[in-house]
Amino acid sequence: MISVSVIAIFDIGKTNKKFFLLDTGYNIVMEKSISFPEIMDEDGDTCEDVKRLTKWIQKTFEAALKDETFDIKAVNFSAYGASLVYIDNKGKVIAPLYNYLKKYPGKLQSAFYKKYGGKEKLSRETASPVLGSLNSGMQLYRIMKEKPELFKKIKYALHLPQYISYLITGKMVSDITSIGCHTLLWDFEKNCYHKWVKEEGIKEKLAPVSPPRKVFDVIFHNKTLKAGCGLHDSSAALIPYLTVFKDPFVLISTGTWCISLNPFNKTSLTNEELKKDCLCYLEFNGEPVKASRLFAGYEHEKQIKRLAKYFKKSLNYYKDIHYNSTIIQWLTNSGILRDTFEPKNNSNQSIFECRELKRFRNYEEAYHCLLHDIMQQQFIATQLVIQDSNVKRIFVDGGFSNNSIYMHLLALVFPQLEVYAASVAQATAMGAALAIHNSWNPMSAPADMVTLTYFKNNNIA
Protein backbone atom coordinates (compact mmCIF):
# COMPACT_ATOMS: atom_id res chain seq x y z
CA MET A 1 0.00 0.00 0.00
CA ILE A 2 1.31 3.44 -0.95
CA SER A 3 0.88 5.91 1.90
CA VAL A 4 -0.06 9.56 1.35
CA SER A 5 2.55 12.20 2.19
CA VAL A 6 1.02 14.65 4.69
CA ILE A 7 1.73 17.36 7.22
CA ALA A 8 0.14 17.13 10.67
CA ILE A 9 -1.28 20.27 12.26
CA PHE A 10 -2.53 20.85 15.79
CA ASP A 11 -4.89 23.84 15.94
CA ILE A 12 -5.72 24.56 19.57
CA GLY A 13 -8.59 26.95 20.15
CA LYS A 14 -10.10 28.11 23.42
CA THR A 15 -13.10 25.83 22.87
CA ASN A 16 -12.20 23.31 20.18
CA LYS A 17 -8.93 21.40 19.94
CA LYS A 18 -8.35 20.15 16.38
CA PHE A 19 -5.93 17.85 14.62
CA PHE A 20 -5.51 17.74 10.85
CA LEU A 21 -3.58 15.87 8.22
CA LEU A 22 -3.12 17.80 4.95
CA ASP A 23 -1.71 16.30 1.77
CA THR A 24 0.76 18.04 -0.55
CA GLY A 25 -2.14 19.76 -2.36
CA TYR A 26 -3.35 21.13 1.02
CA ASN A 27 -6.48 19.00 1.02
CA ILE A 28 -7.64 17.95 4.48
CA VAL A 29 -7.46 14.14 4.51
CA MET A 30 -8.06 13.64 8.24
CA GLU A 31 -9.70 15.80 10.89
CA LYS A 32 -10.29 15.22 14.59
CA SER A 33 -11.82 17.59 17.10
CA ILE A 34 -12.40 17.52 20.83
CA SER A 35 -13.27 19.94 23.61
CA PHE A 36 -12.48 19.78 27.31
CA PRO A 37 -14.29 21.29 30.28
CA GLU A 38 -12.29 24.00 32.00
CA ILE A 39 -10.89 23.48 35.48
CA MET A 40 -10.21 25.91 38.33
CA ASP A 41 -6.93 27.52 39.28
CA GLU A 42 -5.96 28.08 42.92
CA ASP A 43 -8.06 31.27 43.04
CA GLY A 44 -11.22 29.57 41.76
CA ASP A 45 -10.96 31.11 38.28
CA THR A 46 -11.56 28.93 35.23
CA CYS A 47 -8.56 27.87 33.14
CA GLU A 48 -7.41 25.39 30.51
CA ASP A 49 -6.78 21.82 31.70
CA VAL A 50 -3.19 21.74 30.45
CA LYS A 51 -2.52 18.20 31.68
CA ARG A 52 -5.48 16.79 29.78
CA LEU A 53 -4.55 18.82 26.71
CA THR A 54 -0.99 17.47 26.89
CA LYS A 55 -2.14 13.85 27.02
CA TRP A 56 -4.55 14.33 24.11
CA ILE A 57 -1.88 15.89 21.90
CA GLN A 58 0.64 13.14 22.59
CA LYS A 59 -1.82 10.26 22.15
CA THR A 60 -3.37 11.77 19.02
CA PHE A 61 0.00 12.22 17.36
CA GLU A 62 1.20 8.75 18.33
CA ALA A 63 -1.94 7.22 16.81
CA ALA A 64 -1.53 9.21 13.58
CA LEU A 65 2.08 8.04 13.20
CA LYS A 66 0.93 4.41 13.46
CA ASP A 67 -1.66 4.85 10.68
CA GLU A 68 0.01 3.32 7.62
CA THR A 69 -2.41 5.14 5.32
CA PHE A 70 -0.36 8.29 5.82
CA ASP A 71 3.31 9.19 5.78
CA ILE A 72 3.70 12.18 8.09
CA LYS A 73 6.56 14.30 6.78
CA ALA A 74 6.16 17.34 9.03
CA VAL A 75 4.18 18.81 11.90
CA ASN A 76 3.34 22.33 13.01
CA PHE A 77 1.13 23.99 15.57
CA SER A 78 -1.15 26.98 16.10
CA ALA A 79 -2.97 28.06 19.24
CA TYR A 80 -4.65 30.99 20.90
CA GLY A 81 -2.40 33.65 22.39
CA ALA A 82 -1.97 35.51 25.67
CA SER A 83 -1.46 32.21 27.51
CA LEU A 84 1.72 30.94 29.14
CA VAL A 85 2.76 27.46 30.24
CA TYR A 86 5.33 27.41 33.03
CA ILE A 87 8.08 24.76 32.78
CA ASP A 88 10.69 23.81 35.40
CA ASN A 89 14.25 22.52 34.94
CA LYS A 90 12.95 18.98 34.43
CA GLY A 91 10.60 20.03 31.65
CA LYS A 92 7.48 19.63 33.77
CA VAL A 93 4.48 21.97 34.00
CA ILE A 94 4.47 23.54 37.46
CA ALA A 95 1.52 25.97 37.40
CA PRO A 96 -1.96 26.32 35.92
CA LEU A 97 -2.41 27.67 32.40
CA TYR A 98 -4.02 30.85 33.70
CA ASN A 99 -6.96 32.28 31.79
CA TYR A 100 -6.22 35.49 29.88
CA LEU A 101 -9.55 36.82 31.16
CA LYS A 102 -8.43 36.46 34.78
CA LYS A 103 -8.90 39.75 36.63
CA TYR A 104 -5.64 41.64 37.11
CA PRO A 105 -4.85 43.38 40.41
CA GLY A 106 -5.41 47.10 39.93
CA LYS A 107 -2.74 48.26 42.36
CA LEU A 108 -0.09 46.04 40.84
CA GLN A 109 -0.95 47.20 37.35
CA SER A 110 -0.97 50.90 38.29
CA ALA A 111 2.39 50.63 40.05
CA PHE A 112 3.92 48.87 37.05
CA TYR A 113 2.84 51.48 34.50
CA LYS A 114 3.89 54.31 36.79
CA LYS A 115 7.36 52.78 37.13
CA TYR A 116 7.88 52.52 33.37
CA GLY A 117 6.64 55.86 32.12
CA GLY A 118 2.86 55.57 32.08
CA LYS A 119 0.24 53.68 30.11
CA GLU A 120 0.41 55.77 26.94
CA LYS A 121 4.19 55.55 26.59
CA LEU A 122 4.47 51.83 27.32
CA SER A 123 1.44 50.94 25.21
CA ARG A 124 2.81 52.86 22.24
CA GLU A 125 6.28 51.33 22.49
CA THR A 126 4.95 47.75 22.81
CA ALA A 127 1.91 48.19 20.50
CA SER A 128 -0.17 46.78 23.35
CA PRO A 129 -3.30 48.42 24.72
CA VAL A 130 -3.76 48.10 28.47
CA LEU A 131 -5.53 44.73 28.68
CA GLY A 132 -4.61 43.26 32.07
CA SER A 133 -4.05 39.50 31.85
CA LEU A 134 -4.48 39.67 28.05
CA ASN A 135 -1.02 41.26 28.13
CA SER A 136 0.73 37.93 28.76
CA GLY A 137 3.90 39.63 29.98
CA MET A 138 1.83 40.96 32.87
CA GLN A 139 0.91 37.41 33.85
CA LEU A 140 4.57 36.54 34.38
CA TYR A 141 5.18 39.86 36.14
CA ARG A 142 2.33 39.04 38.53
CA ILE A 143 3.85 35.67 39.40
CA MET A 144 7.19 37.34 40.06
CA LYS A 145 5.57 39.80 42.49
CA GLU A 146 2.93 37.60 44.12
CA LYS A 147 4.49 34.11 43.96
CA PRO A 148 8.27 34.55 44.11
CA GLU A 149 8.88 30.91 45.06
CA LEU A 150 7.04 29.72 41.95
CA PHE A 151 8.90 32.30 39.87
CA LYS A 152 12.25 30.88 41.03
CA LYS A 153 11.25 27.38 39.91
CA ILE A 154 10.29 28.48 36.39
CA LYS A 155 12.94 27.68 33.79
CA TYR A 156 10.87 29.00 30.90
CA ALA A 157 7.41 30.48 30.37
CA LEU A 158 6.32 29.23 26.95
CA HIS A 159 3.42 30.70 25.01
CA LEU A 160 0.88 27.98 24.30
CA PRO A 161 1.80 27.36 20.62
CA GLN A 162 5.45 26.87 21.61
CA TYR A 163 4.53 24.59 24.50
CA ILE A 164 2.63 22.34 22.11
CA SER A 165 5.66 22.31 19.81
CA TYR A 166 7.86 21.42 22.78
CA LEU A 167 5.74 18.32 23.45
CA ILE A 168 6.78 16.92 20.07
CA THR A 169 10.19 18.51 19.47
CA GLY A 170 11.60 18.71 22.97
CA LYS A 171 12.81 22.22 22.04
CA MET A 172 11.98 25.23 24.20
CA VAL A 173 11.82 28.39 22.10
CA SER A 174 9.91 31.65 21.83
CA ASP A 175 8.23 32.64 18.56
CA ILE A 176 7.84 36.14 17.22
CA THR A 177 4.11 35.77 16.41
CA SER A 178 3.35 34.95 20.04
CA ILE A 179 5.70 37.56 21.50
CA GLY A 180 4.35 40.25 19.18
CA CYS A 181 0.67 39.93 20.07
CA HIS A 182 -0.34 42.53 22.71
CA THR A 183 2.00 40.87 25.22
CA LEU A 184 3.64 44.13 26.41
CA LEU A 185 6.95 42.27 26.00
CA TRP A 186 8.22 43.51 22.62
CA ASP A 187 9.52 46.97 21.80
CA PHE A 188 8.24 47.56 18.26
CA GLU A 189 10.41 50.65 17.84
CA LYS A 190 13.68 48.89 18.75
CA ASN A 191 12.66 45.41 17.51
CA CYS A 192 13.72 43.64 20.69
CA TYR A 193 12.38 42.89 24.15
CA HIS A 194 11.33 46.04 25.98
CA LYS A 195 13.69 47.33 28.63
CA TRP A 196 11.29 46.47 31.47
CA VAL A 197 11.52 42.80 30.51
CA LYS A 198 15.27 42.91 31.06
CA GLU A 199 15.23 45.11 34.16
CA GLU A 200 12.69 42.94 36.01
CA GLY A 201 14.50 39.68 35.25
CA ILE A 202 11.65 38.47 33.07
CA LYS A 203 13.81 37.92 29.97
CA GLU A 204 15.72 35.04 31.57
CA LYS A 205 12.40 33.23 31.99
CA LEU A 206 11.67 33.46 28.27
CA ALA A 207 13.14 30.84 25.96
CA PRO A 208 15.50 31.94 23.14
CA VAL A 209 13.68 33.58 20.24
CA SER A 210 13.48 31.28 17.26
CA PRO A 211 14.21 32.72 13.79
CA PRO A 212 11.07 33.15 11.65
CA ARG A 213 10.00 29.92 9.92
CA LYS A 214 12.44 27.88 11.99
CA VAL A 215 12.11 24.14 11.36
CA PHE A 216 13.59 21.42 13.55
CA ASP A 217 14.71 17.95 12.52
CA VAL A 218 13.24 15.71 15.20
CA ILE A 219 12.74 12.02 15.89
CA PHE A 220 9.43 11.20 17.56
CA HIS A 221 8.62 7.54 18.23
CA ASN A 222 11.31 6.48 15.74
CA LYS A 223 9.87 8.72 13.01
CA THR A 224 12.08 11.43 11.50
CA LEU A 225 10.10 14.65 11.01
CA LYS A 226 10.34 18.31 10.16
CA ALA A 227 8.71 20.30 12.95
CA GLY A 228 7.81 23.95 13.30
CA CYS A 229 7.85 25.90 16.55
CA GLY A 230 4.19 26.94 16.35
CA LEU A 231 2.35 30.18 15.62
CA HIS A 232 -0.20 32.46 17.22
CA ASP A 233 -3.54 31.60 15.58
CA SER A 234 -4.36 35.10 14.26
CA SER A 235 -1.00 35.28 12.50
CA ALA A 236 -1.44 31.77 11.11
CA ALA A 237 -4.87 32.62 9.67
CA LEU A 238 -3.38 35.51 7.72
CA ILE A 239 -0.76 33.37 5.92
CA PRO A 240 -3.02 31.86 3.20
CA TYR A 241 -4.04 35.38 2.14
CA LEU A 242 -0.45 36.64 2.09
CA THR A 243 0.50 33.56 0.05
CA VAL A 244 -2.19 34.05 -2.61
CA PHE A 245 -2.58 37.85 -2.81
CA LYS A 246 0.29 40.26 -3.35
CA ASP A 247 -1.65 43.53 -3.84
CA PRO A 248 -2.52 45.43 -0.62
CA PHE A 249 -5.62 44.19 1.21
CA VAL A 250 -7.30 44.27 4.60
CA LEU A 251 -8.58 41.06 6.15
CA ILE A 252 -11.50 41.31 8.57
CA SER A 253 -11.42 38.09 10.55
CA THR A 254 -14.84 37.73 12.14
CA GLY A 255 -15.98 35.74 15.14
CA THR A 256 -16.58 36.81 18.72
CA TRP A 257 -14.09 39.54 17.89
CA CYS A 258 -13.96 41.15 14.45
CA ILE A 259 -10.28 41.90 13.85
CA SER A 260 -9.26 44.10 10.92
CA LEU A 261 -5.73 43.18 9.87
CA ASN A 262 -3.64 45.28 7.49
CA PRO A 263 -0.20 43.80 6.78
CA PHE A 264 0.52 46.68 4.38
CA ASN A 265 0.22 49.49 6.94
CA LYS A 266 3.69 50.15 8.33
CA THR A 267 2.91 53.31 10.33
CA SER A 268 3.58 53.35 14.06
CA LEU A 269 0.65 53.24 16.45
CA THR A 270 -0.46 56.56 17.87
CA ASN A 271 -1.86 57.15 21.34
CA GLU A 272 -5.24 57.90 19.79
CA GLU A 273 -5.26 54.60 17.90
CA LEU A 274 -4.36 52.68 21.04
CA LYS A 275 -7.27 54.30 22.87
CA LYS A 276 -9.55 53.02 20.08
CA ASP A 277 -8.34 49.43 20.58
CA CYS A 278 -5.75 49.37 17.80
CA LEU A 279 -2.68 47.21 18.23
CA CYS A 280 0.04 45.54 16.20
CA TYR A 281 0.76 41.87 15.60
CA LEU A 282 4.03 40.48 14.32
CA GLU A 283 3.39 38.12 11.42
CA PHE A 284 5.43 35.00 10.73
CA ASN A 285 8.14 36.88 8.80
CA GLY A 286 8.57 39.29 11.70
CA GLU A 287 6.80 42.19 9.98
CA PRO A 288 4.25 44.29 11.94
CA VAL A 289 0.57 44.01 11.06
CA LYS A 290 -1.61 46.89 12.19
CA ALA A 291 -4.91 45.66 13.58
CA SER A 292 -8.07 46.95 15.21
CA ARG A 293 -10.55 44.99 17.29
CA LEU A 294 -14.31 45.16 17.58
CA PHE A 295 -16.45 43.00 19.88
CA ALA A 296 -19.08 42.75 17.14
CA GLY A 297 -19.64 39.00 17.23
CA TYR A 298 -20.38 39.15 20.92
CA GLU A 299 -22.72 42.12 20.44
CA HIS A 300 -24.52 40.29 17.63
CA GLU A 301 -24.98 37.19 19.78
CA LYS A 302 -26.36 39.24 22.66
CA GLN A 303 -28.81 41.19 20.50
CA ILE A 304 -30.24 38.22 18.57
CA LYS A 305 -31.28 36.75 21.93
CA ARG A 306 -33.09 40.01 22.66
CA LEU A 307 -34.76 39.98 19.23
CA ALA A 308 -35.81 36.34 19.50
CA LYS A 309 -37.47 36.96 22.84
CA TYR A 310 -39.27 40.15 21.77
CA PHE A 311 -40.51 38.91 18.37
CA LYS A 312 -41.09 35.33 19.59
CA LYS A 313 -38.78 33.75 17.05
CA SER A 314 -36.19 30.98 17.27
CA LEU A 315 -32.66 31.94 18.22
CA ASN A 316 -31.41 31.06 14.72
CA TYR A 317 -34.19 32.88 12.85
CA TYR A 318 -31.71 35.51 11.64
CA LYS A 319 -29.91 32.90 9.51
CA ASP A 320 -32.78 32.86 7.01
CA ILE A 321 -32.84 36.65 6.57
CA HIS A 322 -31.08 38.09 3.51
CA TYR A 323 -30.14 41.62 2.61
CA ASN A 324 -33.12 43.72 1.52
CA SER A 325 -32.35 47.22 0.25
CA THR A 326 -36.04 48.16 0.60
CA ILE A 327 -35.81 47.60 4.36
CA ILE A 328 -32.70 49.76 4.59
CA GLN A 329 -34.52 52.45 2.59
CA TRP A 330 -37.52 52.27 4.94
CA LEU A 331 -35.27 52.50 8.01
CA THR A 332 -33.66 55.59 6.48
CA ASN A 333 -36.92 57.28 5.45
CA SER A 334 -38.64 56.54 8.75
CA GLY A 335 -35.92 58.40 10.64
CA ILE A 336 -34.82 55.37 12.67
CA LEU A 337 -31.30 55.66 11.27
CA ARG A 338 -31.19 59.43 11.69
CA ASP A 339 -29.04 59.32 14.80
CA THR A 340 -25.39 59.08 13.81
CA PHE A 341 -23.05 56.83 15.77
CA GLU A 342 -20.50 58.70 17.83
CA PRO A 343 -17.82 56.30 19.05
CA LYS A 344 -16.58 56.39 22.59
CA ASN A 345 -13.10 55.25 23.57
CA ASN A 346 -13.02 51.47 23.99
CA SER A 347 -16.79 51.25 23.45
CA ASN A 348 -17.80 47.83 22.15
CA GLN A 349 -21.56 48.41 22.27
CA SER A 350 -23.51 49.39 19.21
CA ILE A 351 -26.27 51.96 19.56
CA PHE A 352 -28.75 49.17 18.96
CA GLU A 353 -28.61 48.47 22.68
CA CYS A 354 -30.46 51.75 23.22
CA ARG A 355 -33.10 51.28 20.51
CA GLU A 356 -36.71 50.55 21.40
CA LEU A 357 -37.80 47.38 19.61
CA LYS A 358 -41.40 48.56 19.42
CA ARG A 359 -40.36 51.00 16.68
CA PHE A 360 -39.82 48.06 14.31
CA ARG A 361 -42.74 46.42 12.54
CA ASN A 362 -41.09 43.02 12.44
CA TYR A 363 -37.96 41.02 13.22
CA GLU A 364 -36.54 41.58 9.72
CA GLU A 365 -36.50 45.37 10.12
CA ALA A 366 -34.96 45.16 13.59
CA TYR A 367 -32.28 42.75 12.41
CA HIS A 368 -31.32 44.94 9.45
CA CYS A 369 -31.03 47.86 11.87
CA LEU A 370 -28.81 45.81 14.20
CA LEU A 371 -26.42 45.02 11.35
CA HIS A 372 -26.51 48.67 10.26
CA ASP A 373 -25.54 49.80 13.75
CA ILE A 374 -22.74 47.23 13.97
CA MET A 375 -21.52 48.37 10.56
CA GLN A 376 -21.15 51.95 11.79
CA GLN A 377 -18.61 50.65 14.29
CA GLN A 378 -17.03 48.29 11.79
CA PHE A 379 -16.40 51.16 9.40
CA ILE A 380 -14.60 53.16 12.08
CA ALA A 381 -12.53 50.17 13.25
CA THR A 382 -11.49 49.09 9.75
CA GLN A 383 -10.80 52.64 8.56
CA LEU A 384 -8.31 53.00 11.43
CA VAL A 385 -6.02 50.39 9.86
CA ILE A 386 -6.60 51.29 6.18
CA GLN A 387 -5.36 54.90 6.38
CA ASP A 388 -3.11 55.65 3.37
CA SER A 389 -1.90 52.09 2.74
CA ASN A 390 -3.10 51.82 -0.89
CA VAL A 391 -5.54 49.06 -0.02
CA LYS A 392 -7.82 48.08 -2.89
CA ARG A 393 -9.69 45.11 -1.44
CA ILE A 394 -11.30 43.96 1.79
CA PHE A 395 -11.59 40.24 2.51
CA VAL A 396 -13.97 39.00 5.21
CA ASP A 397 -13.64 35.52 6.68
CA GLY A 398 -15.38 33.82 9.58
CA GLY A 399 -19.01 34.00 10.63
CA PHE A 400 -20.00 37.38 9.17
CA SER A 401 -18.68 36.40 5.73
CA ASN A 402 -21.82 34.24 5.45
CA ASN A 403 -24.13 37.10 6.47
CA SER A 404 -25.41 38.84 3.32
CA ILE A 405 -26.63 41.89 5.25
CA TYR A 406 -23.23 42.47 6.85
CA MET A 407 -21.45 41.98 3.51
CA HIS A 408 -23.74 44.29 1.50
CA LEU A 409 -23.52 47.01 4.15
CA LEU A 410 -19.73 46.70 4.23
CA ALA A 411 -19.65 47.23 0.46
CA LEU A 412 -21.92 50.23 0.97
CA VAL A 413 -19.68 51.97 3.52
CA PHE A 414 -16.50 51.25 1.53
CA PRO A 415 -17.66 52.16 -2.02
CA GLN A 416 -14.10 52.84 -3.19
CA LEU A 417 -12.93 49.30 -2.35
CA GLU A 418 -13.72 45.81 -3.65
CA VAL A 419 -15.38 43.79 -0.90
CA TYR A 420 -15.25 40.00 -0.86
CA ALA A 421 -16.51 37.24 1.37
CA ALA A 422 -13.52 34.95 1.60
CA SER A 423 -13.29 31.32 2.56
CA VAL A 424 -10.29 29.17 3.35
CA ALA A 425 -10.90 25.68 4.63
CA GLN A 426 -9.51 25.78 8.19
CA ALA A 427 -7.44 28.93 7.57
CA THR A 428 -5.46 28.69 10.80
CA ALA A 429 -4.35 25.12 10.18
CA MET A 430 -3.66 25.94 6.54
CA GLY A 431 -1.49 28.87 7.59
CA ALA A 432 0.51 26.77 10.03
CA ALA A 433 1.20 24.27 7.24
CA LEU A 434 2.16 26.97 4.74
CA ALA A 435 4.56 28.56 7.24
CA ILE A 436 6.93 25.57 6.83
CA HIS A 437 5.89 24.64 3.27
CA ASN A 438 9.40 24.60 1.81
CA SER A 439 10.67 22.14 4.42
CA TRP A 440 8.37 19.26 3.48
CA ASN A 441 6.33 19.92 0.34
CA PRO A 442 7.94 19.67 -3.14
CA MET A 443 4.84 21.13 -4.82
CA SER A 444 3.88 24.78 -5.17
CA ALA A 445 1.29 26.17 -2.80
CA PRO A 446 -2.12 26.06 -4.54
CA ALA A 447 -3.23 29.41 -5.93
CA ASP A 448 -6.93 28.60 -5.46
CA MET A 449 -6.95 27.91 -1.74
CA VAL A 450 -8.97 31.10 -1.08
CA THR A 451 -12.55 31.19 -2.41
CA LEU A 452 -13.93 34.70 -3.03
CA THR A 453 -17.48 36.02 -3.45
CA TYR A 454 -17.73 39.63 -4.64
CA PHE A 455 -20.26 42.00 -3.09
CA LYS A 456 -21.12 44.96 -5.29
CA ASN A 457 -21.88 48.37 -3.81
CA ASN A 458 -25.59 48.93 -4.52
CA ASN A 459 -25.92 52.45 -3.20
CA ILE A 460 -29.58 53.16 -2.39
CA ALA A 461 -29.08 56.83 -1.57
Please, what is the Cα angle at 158 between 152 and 161, to 5 degrees?
165
Report the CATH number that the domain containing residue 184 is assigned in CATH: 3.30.420.40
pLDDT of residue 348: 59
25, pLDDT greater than 70:
yes
Q: Are residues 368 and 273 in the same domain?
A: yes
Backbone conformation region of residue 66, classed left if phi is above 0, alpha if psi is from -120 to 50, else beta? alpha
Sequence letter at residue 149: E
Q: Are residues 265 and 339 in the same domain?
A: yes
| Alpha-carbon radius of gyration of the chain | 23
pLDDT of residue 340: 55
Q: Are residues 122 and 189 in the same domain?
A: yes
Region 309-338 average pLDDT: 94
65, pLDDT greater than 50:
yes
pLDDT in tens, 211-252: 878 999 999 988 999 999 999 998 898 999 999 999 999 999
48 has which bridge partners? 97
DSSP for 102-145 reads: SPPPHHHHHHHHHHTT-HHHHHHHHT----GGGSHHHHHHHHHH
Q: Are residues 98 and 11 in the same domain?
A: yes
pLDDT of residue 459: 60
Domain stop point among 180, 209, 229: 229
Question: How far is residue 396's CA from residue 419's CA, in Å, rounded to a whole number?
Answer: 8
Helical pair 325-333 and 363-386, crossing angle rounded to 10 deg? 90
pLDDT of residue 399: 87
Q: What confidence category does residue 176 fall into, taking pLDDT thresholds of 50, 70 and 90?
A: very high
Widest distance between CA atoms in the chain:
71
Q: Are residues 444 and 324 in the same domain?
A: yes
Contacts of 415 (CB under 8 A, 6+ apart): 457, 459
pLDDT of residue 198: 96
370, pLDDT greater than 70:
yes
Provide the mean pLDDT of the chain.
93
Domain stop point among 197, 229, 261: 229
Q: Are residues 210 and 256 in the same domain?
A: no
Nearest CA to 227 among 216, 213, 211, 212? 216
pLDDT of residue 461: 42
Region 80-90 average pLDDT: 96
pLDDT in tens, 110-155: 999 999 999 999 999 999 999 999 999 999 999 999 999 999 999 9
Region 376-391 average pLDDT: 91
Q: Are residues 259 and 377 in the same domain?
A: yes
pLDDT of residue 15: 85
Q: What confidence category does residue 266 fall into, taking pLDDT thresholds of 50, 70 and 90?
A: confident
341, pLDDT greater than 50:
no
Q: Are residues 139 and 248 in the same domain?
A: no
97, pLDDT greater than 90:
yes
Number of independent structural domains in the chain: 2
Domain stop point among 201, 229, 257: 229
Domain that holds residue 420: 233-461
H helices of 127-275, in order, are: 136-146, 148-153, 160-169, 176-179, 195-199, 233-244, 271-275
pLDDT of residue 408: 97
346, pLDDT greater than 50:
no
Q: What confidence category does residue 345 fall into, taking pLDDT thresholds of 50, 70 and 90?
A: very low
Q: Are residues 388 and 239 in the same domain?
A: yes
Q: Percent of the chain, pLDDT > 70?
A: 97
Backbone conformation region of residue 221, classed left if phi is above 0, alpha if psi is from -120 to 50, else beta? left
Q: Are residues 208 and 239 in the same domain?
A: no
DSSP for 32-82 reads: EEE----EE-TTS-EEB-HHHHHHHHHHHHHHHHH-TTEEEEEEEEEE-SS
pLDDT of residue 458: 66
Q: Give the strand pairing for 249-254 and 231-232.
A: unpaired
By mean pLDDT, which of 33-37, 86-90, 273-277, 390-394 is the weakest? 273-277
353, pLDDT greater than 70:
yes
pLDDT in tens, 298-314: 899 999 999 999 999 99
pLDDT of residue 125: 94
Backbone conformation region of residue 407, classed left if phi is above 0, alpha if psi is from -120 to 50, else beta? alpha
Q: Are residues 179 and 214 in the same domain?
A: yes
Whether the CB-CB separation of 282 and 288 falls below 8 Å is answered with yes
pLDDT in tens, 186-207: 999 899 999 999 999 999 999 9
273 versus 308: the higher-pLDDT residue is 308
Nearest CA to 132 among 206, 174, 186, 182? 182
Q: Are residues 193 and 158 in the same domain?
A: yes
Nearest CA to 83 among 27, 28, 164, 197? 164
